[in-house]
Chain A
Amino acid sequence: MRFVDYLAPTNLDSALSAFAGGKWTVLAGGTDFYPARVGHPLTEPVLDISGLDELRGISVTDDAYRIGALTRWADIKAADLPPAFDGLRLAAAEVGGIQVQNAGTIAGNLCNASPAADGIPPLLTLDASVELASQGGQRVVPLSAFLTGYRQIDLQSGELVTAVIVPRQVEEAFSDFQKLGSRSYLVISIVMVATVIAADPEGIISDARIAVGACSPVALRLTELESELRGKHRNDRALQHLPTRHHLDRLAPIDDVRATADYRFGATLTLIRRSLRRFAESA
């Protein structure tokens, strides 16, 4: 018989002190953890944080929403959140299927850092940050900086993600998420587009945020397009024709088993246009 160290702390302090003392692999909902280990015996010591109830749930302060690291996609889907979170909630409903949503957590999705992680584009459009804790203290990093590359994150040893922080900026903004895959459920995205667009009472766009996933090593915001949208009227008929291929220049989609790069470029534009149309119709 072979044994591996397995620790299941019930509060954050004991988790962090254990974590500081050794090289542990974190286990949350396990929906990325286990599939990555099929057919291999477990060899590394496991720190199972799924019992840290204090890291689960959504709370609001004067200036931010705080989504606990262990908040599951099913929780997010069902949460009572302002319109700007609609995209995130739509994404929650598209992560795998119901079973996966009942187990998979928001922090697990970010830490796994797949280019096709459905949680990332909507959180980018919410200007989310990641709260990290270690025995030494706490830091907060913008999500865009936390994701450093293809499946790479800025996580120091001994650090746990404890929450995702969303500033209270454009709570009432229009928000959307579209995932395109070759199957309805349990499918890895070919491309997904998240949008958050705020307009003033006259209908002039004051803030536009558009993020595209599965078309680059890390999901990206289309900042150029965003700034071109700013100042336009929501009913401007030219709106849907605004996004063009050059706005996607920073994307680097690949040909893979799911689709060709060409298809991804075309589909990205289609999805952005559809979101813009829905935005126009949302008033």
Chain B
Amino acid sequence: MTTRLDGPEKVTGAALFPADVVRPDFLHAQIVFTDQPHARLVDLDVEPARAVPGVVEILTAADIPVNEYGLVFRDQPVLIGPGNELTAVAENISRWEADQLCVVIAENIEAARAGAAAIKVEWEELPILGDIDTSLQSTVMLHPENGLDTNAYHHLRIRKGDIDAGWSEADVVIEGTYEVPYQEHAFLQPEAAISYIDEEGRVTVEIAGQWTVEDQEQIAHALDLPTEAVRVKYPAIGGAFGGREDMSMQIVLAAAARKLAARGIRRPIRCQWSREESIVGHHKRHRGRIKARLGARRDGKIVAVEADCYLDAGGYNYTSNKVLGNLHLCVGGPYEIPNARIDSYAVYTNAVPGGAFRGFGAPQGAMVAETQMNKLALALDMDPIELRLLNSLRDGSMGITQAEMPLGVSLPFVIDAAANAASEEFQVGELRPVATLPSEESAIRRGRGFACGYKNVGFSFGFPERCEAAVELFGDDEVERAILYHGAAEVGQGSHTALRQMAAMAIGIDYERVETVYSDTATSGDSGSASASRLTWMSGNSILGAVEEATKKWNDGERPARGEFRFVPPPTQTLDPVTGAGQPNFAYGYVAEVVDLSVDIETGHIRVDRVICANDVGRVINRTLVEGQVEGAIVQAHGYAITEDLQVKDARITNPRLSAYLIPGIDDIPAEIRTILLEHPDPRGPWGVRGMAEMPLVPYAAAVVAALHDATGVWFHQLPLTPSRVLAGLTANPL
């Protein structure tokens, strides 16, 4: 077995995370949030802060050359306040409680905080659009610069077949309205970074992120610099899950380093968020509401799907339009659906922005699609597995967007694998206590649920997807060693190990003979993001290309032989604005899960006794890492489905603490996870690899809901299934 590259350092504590990097002459930065979900800045006076002993500099909007930021479109001021007016966004309006107002830089953190406290600021409060409904009904536009007369700023449609004909053909119709909740990433390492001017004069940020080149471009844009003048480097990263996709402190710290340098101060600056700042200060998995209808013939064939999906985007888009797109594709389920009408909306509000989070819209979609399917199976008195197999997408199937599915549709295989394992190996076992409460046997009900799902691999909807790698081969006759240069972020998932393994496989030398240089824009190219289950898939292809290039030069006698390669997958398309037709993706991964649970009907506690997860990974590069991803995804899904309850009141998060926002602990997670890895090659994946790390999160909540129904006879349409909610549901629907 291959030792994990970053393992020894992390186990011994030698690995340096951004907050561990220490320089003797550090200055300390405190980022000041506006603390205003919606307000206009009337007056900002930072002079009292300058007077605080130890305060060195204060950064305000006027210090950001181009005061705008956004991963997809630039709808967010970097700092709120009077700026240079080089952006269409009103710079003096706070639209989120964690909009950033200024940065206080001081000799020590106490002085920086004292400076922050001394700032005088006057706000004119504006109406707070705290949720989707309020925002849809309001005449107040949060982003008037987009010219729309609604806060539902992004609308996607699907019009497929003849929906009326579909309904008239339907013998059974299932309807439901689902509320899906926020989820906080809760990565181990809260945001932290250092910034400085490096030896070549580049403004440099060392931070934990997911995509060095994207961070670099965002900084360069706001600072109005050529990208080469900006350097982004990743030390050890303590988890990401999509939560580091957007900017937190990258831009302001880079701007601060430049402002100090202009004054002749060349000292590195450090900044570190507390857990509360982290939870308040970065985006979440979207909350939303989805109304869905599903129609089928008596024989089980699906004939119509309708859905109206609303996602709360929060104050800024972040990646909401893309997450919405993915929900849009998933809400009907991975089935052959002849007739469909789907309308999906992203809605600006003053709540915390929604954004990337493992699964990227697919978990919300699967919660709806699979619960609808499970209800349909019941209404038809049909086995839920049989119902899926009857309707499953297959090679040659048209997807919901009227494009042929990329080859390698393995949904029927994962469904079979999970179902077989459930019937053969998993007999009902011994009764275990629910939660720590020694429960009363008479109050325990048990149930089993099934759900499946799919999730795209790589960026969708016409995004110019790419991945670069460089490889150098050394030796005389034979290749003796090699160096791989790659931008890929090691967010804890093991990518640095898997990439090195793939380089060794491609060159045909031992793993030990491959050196790696990672995650620094000064040495590596554009890897694309560590997200969308894409990194192994895309990087493997880039490595294969780079090795091929290097080998050509090697054969031409070059020593060392260096090969560079930019891998570009088949192009994807934006969806037709009226019909939603188009090819949104170039690859998918498929997964199916069976959940066995116990519920205490007197307290509402749920215990998941067993999970079977059948995940088609195409080709296992590193079994330990892959199994770790499956188990980690299920644990995270368990929190989403059952324990994690982020509360937002008047657009403010009221429980930004891990003592009140409960991620599952070791005794809460499923008692047993059985991982079944299938290896049906993706025809375009390197060595057949598929993306796999988000998929097991996707169907879990729906499988839990189905198992809970099996146990109690009650359907739940809202997550998370906290004791309070479960008991209220059971009381309202007596057994």
Interface residues of A (CB under 8 A from B): 38-39, 41, 94, 178-188, 190, 257-260, 262-263, 266-267, 270, 274, 277
For B576-607 the 0/1 string (1 means CB < 8 A from A) is: 00000000000000000000000000111000
For the complex with contacts A38-B274, A183-B664, A267-B723, 12 further pairs of A-B residues with Cβ separation under 8 Å are A94-B436, A180-B603, A181-B435, A181-B436, A184-B667, A188-B659, A257-B655, A258-B660, A258-B724, A263-B728, A266-B727, A267-B603
Name the contact of B603 in the complex, choosing from A39, A41, A257, A270 (C-beta under 8 A).
A270
B589: min CB distance to chain A, Å: 31
How many angstroms between the C-alpha atoms of A33 and B541 in the bound complex? Answer: 54
Interface pair B665/A186, CB less than 8 Å apart: yes
Question: Which chain A residues border B435 with CB–CB below 8 Å?
Answer: 180-181, 183-184
Q: Which residues of B are in contact with A by a Cβ distance under 8 Å?
A: 110, 113, 274, 435-438, 440, 602-604, 643, 645, 647, 654-655, 659-660, 662, 664-668, 722-724, 727-728, 731
Across the interface, name the chain B residue whose C-beta is closest to A176: B438
Known contacts A257-B645, A270-B602, A277-B440; A185/B660 CB under 8 A:
no
Cα distance, A202 to B602, chains bound together (Å): 32
Chain A nearest CB, measured from B270 CB (Å): 16
Asked if A259 and B724 sit within 8 Å, CB to CB, the answer is yes
A184 touches B643 (CB 8 A): no
Q: Are A184 and B723 in contact (CB under 8 A)?
A: no
Complex partner residue of A257 from B438, B654, B666, B728, CB under 8 angstroms? B654
In the complex, chain A residues whose CB is within 8 Å of the CB of B668: 183-184
Given the known inter-chain contacts A178-B437, A270-B602, A277-B440, please indicate yes or no for A185 contacting B665, CB distance below 8 A: yes
Query: If A38-B274, A184-B667, A184-B668 touch, does A260 touch B662 (CB 8 Å cutoff)?
Result: no
| C-alpha spacing A55/B724, complex, angstroms | 41
Provide the bound-state CA to CA distance between A267 and B724, in Å: 9
Give the chain B neighbours of A183 by CB distance below 8 A.
435, 643, 662, 664-665, 668
Q: A179-B436, A257-B647, A257-B660 are in contact. Are A185 and B667 (CB under 8 A)?
A: yes
The answer to whether A186 touches B659, judged by C-beta atoms less than 8 angstroms apart, is yes
Please indicate the chain B residues that have their CB under 8 angstroms from the CB of A258 in the complex: 660, 724
* Bound-state Cα–Cα, A267 to B605, Å: 11
Asked whether A187 lies within 8 Å of B440 as measured between CB atoms, the reply is no
Whether the pair A182, B722 counts as a contact (CB closer than 8 A) is yes
B-side contacts of A267, CB under 8 Å: 603, 723, 727
Chain A nearest CB from B276 CB (Å) reads 8
With a CB–CB cut-off of 8 A, which chain A residues contact B731?
Answer: 266
- Assess whether B662 is in contact with A182, with CB atoms less than 8 Å apart: yes
Contact of A274 with B440 at beta-carbon distance under 8 Å, contacts A182-B662, A263-B723 already known? yes
**Residue in B440, B655, B724 whose beta carbon sits within 8 Å of that of A263 in the complex:** B724
Given A183-B668, A185-B665, A188-B660, verify A259-B436 contact (CB < 8 Å). no
Q: List 8 A-B contacts (CB under 8 A).
A: A38-B274, A178-B437, A184-B665, A190-B724, A257-B655, A259-B723, A263-B604, A263-B724
Q: Which residues of B contact A185 (CB under 8 A)?
A: 436, 665-667
Q: How far is the CB of A156 from chain B (nearest CB, A)?
A: 31
* Separation of A274 and B662 alpha carbons in the complex (Å): 26
Cα-based distance from A267 to B723 in the complex (angstroms): 10
Knowing A183-B643, A183-B664, say if A41 contacts B110 (CB, 8 Å). Answer: yes
Hey, which chain A residues are within 8 Å of B723, CB to CB? 180, 182, 190, 259, 263, 267
In the complex, the chain A residue whose C-beta lies closest to that of B660 is A257
The smallest C-beta distance from B53 to any residue of chain A, in angstroms, reads 12
CA distance A274 to B455 in the complex (A): 45
Which 10 A-B residue pairings sit nearest by Cβ, starting from the closest? A184-B667, A263-B724, A259-B724, A270-B602, A257-B655, A183-B662, A184-B436, A257-B660, A185-B665, A184-B668
Residues of B within 8 A of A266 (CB): 727, 731
When the two chains form their complex, are residues B667 and A187 in contact, meaning their CB atoms are under 8 A apart?
A: no
